[in-house]
A and B are shown apart, each in its own frame.
Chain A
Amino acid sequence: AQTVTQSQPEMSVQEAETVTLSCTYDTSESNYYLFWYKQPPSRQMILVIRQEAYKQQNATENRFSVNFQKAAKSFSLKISDSQLGDTAMYFCAFIPMYSGGGADGLTFGKGTHLIIQP
């Protein structure tokens, strides 16, 4: 069984600052995907970024980037030039990458509530 841990229940930063959200996970699988999802007040889950475990290069999507440390089982999200619209719950999620494993569903952390102050 997999577990995902987000140790920061809430974070608050000023607009335009850079913020890093932490995520650690535990698994015996060697191949897997990791995701960061954003859940704004509307409660719609929005995919922010994903990382394949077999790729050493860290994923980047515009202002969002990850620091993936496979040996340490760490997957942090960095948001640069933070904006008011980044205010949301952020969830780290894991899914194993074996045949049919994608149908097992995502394992989520408990989330980090990120508040961007004007």
Chain B
Amino acid sequence: DGGITQSPKYLFRKEGQNVTLSCEQNLNHDAMYWYRQDPGQGLRLIYYSQIVNDFQKGDIAEGYSVSREKKESFPLTVTSAQKNPTAFYLCASSPRPDNSYEQYFGPGTRLTVT
């Protein structure tokens, strides 16, 4: 079955540690996205990537980093510089950014930093 996988579902880290969230898709989609969701808030865009080896900052990129070495993978690193990292993180993909605007979402990762 084609889809988007995010692992792990729950992640716990100590303050000051970097942590990497995984996102893999086998839909052969070109574009991939990372969103953050906080209680009572909609999703906010962190980073996005249209093609391999290229990515752009979204609205709340500070304290995060990404890479896009393979088409199917778009890992997100939450660095110690992120002041409030505890949140629900969602990865999404879309077929081609300029002719298909529908995004498909993964199941999400709940990150708790204490």
A106 in contact with B45 given A43-B88, A43-B107, A44-B105 (CB within 8 Å): yes
Q: What is the size category of the interface that chain B forms with chain A?
A: 20 to 34
Interface string of B33-52 (1 = CB under 8 A from A): 10100001111110010100
Give the contact stretch, choosing among A14-22, A59-67, A71-79, A93-101: A93-101
Contact with A along B83-114 (1 / 0, CB 8 A): 00000101010101111111111011000000
| Beta-carbon contact of B105 and A45 below 8 Å | yes
Chain A contacts for B90, CB-based, 8 A: 45
CB contacts under 8 Å to B, within A1-53, are 4, 6, 9, 33, 35, 42-47, 50
Please report the C-alpha to C-alpha distance between residue A97 and residue B102 in the assembled complex, in whole angstroms.
Answer: 11
Shortest Cβ distance from A91 into B: residue: B42
With A100-B50, A106-B43 known, 4 other A-B pairs at CB within 8 A are A102-B98, A105-B58, A106-B45, A111-B42
Q: How far is the CA of A102 from the CA of B100 in the complex (A)?
A: 7
Which residues of chain A come closer than 8 Å to B96, judged between CB atoms? 102
Cβ of A44 to closest chain B Cβ, rounded Å: 6
Is B23 on the interface with A (CB-CB < 8 A)? no
Q: Which residues of A contact B97 (CB under 8 A)?
A: 100-103
B101 and A33 within 8 A (CB): yes
Q: Please measure, in the bound complex, the distance between the C-alpha atom of A24 and the C-alpha atom of B97, giving whole angstroms.
A: 24
Contact B108 A110 (CB under 8 A): no
Taking a contact as CB atoms under 8 Å apart, the answer to whether B40 and A43 are in contact is: no
The answer for the CA separation of A59 and B41 in the assembled complex, in Å, is: 26
* Interface residue? B76 (CB, 8 A): no
B31 at the binding interface (Cβ < 8 Å): yes
Given the complex, which residues of A lie within 8 Å of B107, measured CB to CB? Answer: 42-44
In Å, the complex CA distance between A57 and B43 comes to: 28
Q: Are B44's CB and A108's CB within 8 A?
A: yes
Q: Which residue of B lies closest to A100 (CB)?
A: B98
- Rounded to whole Å, the gap between the CB of B22 and the closest CB of chain A is 17
Q: Which residue of B lies closest to A50 (CB)?
A: B102
Q: How far is the CA of A68 from the CA of B31 in the complex (A)?
A: 28
- Does the CB pair A105–B48 fall under 8 Å? yes
Q: Contact partner of B98 among A50, A91, A103, A111, CB < 8 A?
A: A103
